[in-house]
Amino acid sequence: MSKKAIWGIDREALELILGASRLSHPWEFAAVLRARESVIREVLFLPGTLALNQSAVLRLHMLPIDPSACGTVHSHPSGSASPSQEDLMLFTKYGRVHIIVAEPFDEHSWRAYDYRGNELKLEVTELKKQVSKG
């Protein structure tokens, strides 16, 4: 894992997270976050992840050796984006940034946390597409 602080999340990655959370409802959705240049740009879906109505279980041993993997994301169908005690235990074991998405799974119902459970502010960014000249 890179040691640079994560300061943003790409809008497309956030929209994927929100959509996956809505599709998984009433069960929890869970995945791993991948960052480049200190911005979360991708969501990794791990094989064997279990989605239940009260929890989701990530099989972190299925994570490829990947220095760009920076944390986790999961949904809370209950409507609260605050971390539970189980979430806080996961945060201390893996990753530097963790996102919790709550119902109604929109741009205003998610929060980011550091490995200690302190809330982080992530800027939503637009990935600049390169246009080929020719």
Domains in the chain, please, with CATH? Answer: 8-124 (3.40.140.10)
- What percent of the chain is modeled with pLDDT above 70? 78
pLDDT, tens only, 53-110: 566 666 566 666 788 899 999 999 888 999 999 999 989 988 999 999 999 999 999 9
The H or E element that residue 132 is part of is: none
CA distance 106 to 126: 17
Active site residues: 28
Contacts of 44 (CB under 8 A, 6+ apart): 31, 32, 33, 34, 63, 66, 69
- CA angle 43/45/49 to nearest 5° reads 140
Most confident of 14-23, 39-48, 49-58, 72-81: 14-23
